[in-house]
Amino acid sequence: MKNTTKALIIIVSFILTIGSCRKSDYVPAPKMDLGKVSTSMSFTSKPTTENNYTFSVNVTPGSKYSAQITDFKGDVLFSQGLNADEPTETIKLDVEKISKGQYDLIFIDTKGDEIKQPLIIK
């Protein structure tokens, strides 16, 4: 009986080993459209002091960006994406749910380049 059990375990192990060694088909990852490569970005106006902060930024048309508000620890409190259509884009950020204080307004392109501006919410 013991020899039969050992033989059965060996046969099952062999079948599982052979079965798991088959060739799998390579499935390529889907391509992400990151837009054009950003060649410039700069703030052209300072944010307003209302619940909806509005600012303008010079960008590369066809590029994709992210506008973020972070606290000084680096935690992202607000994030909004942007597909640039014009060389100067005006962005509205709804900061009503963010408490009063000092923050950083960060604008990031798809390469990871960023520009930063202090932001005070009153």
- pLDDT tens digits for 85-102? 888 888 887 777 888 888
Asked, for residue 23, whether it belongs to a domain, the answer is: no
Expressed as residue numbers, the domain containing 72 is 42-121
Asked, for residue 102, whether it belongs to a domain, the answer is: yes
* pLDDT for res 110: 85
Asked, for residue 89, whether it belongs to a domain, the answer is: yes
Asked, for residue 32, whether it belongs to a domain, the answer is: no
Q: What angle do CA 76, 34, 55 make, to 5 degrees?
A: 50
Asked, for residue 49, whether it belongs to a domain, the answer is: yes
Supply the CATH number for residue 104's domain: 2.60.40.1930
Number of domains in the chain: 1
- pLDDT tens digits for 23-61? 667 777 776 666 677 777 777 766 665 667 788 888 888
pTM of structure? 0.63
In sequence order, what E strands does the chain have? 42-43, 52-58, 64-70, 76-83, 88-94, 101-109, 114-121
Asked, for residue 97, whether it belongs to a domain, the answer is: yes
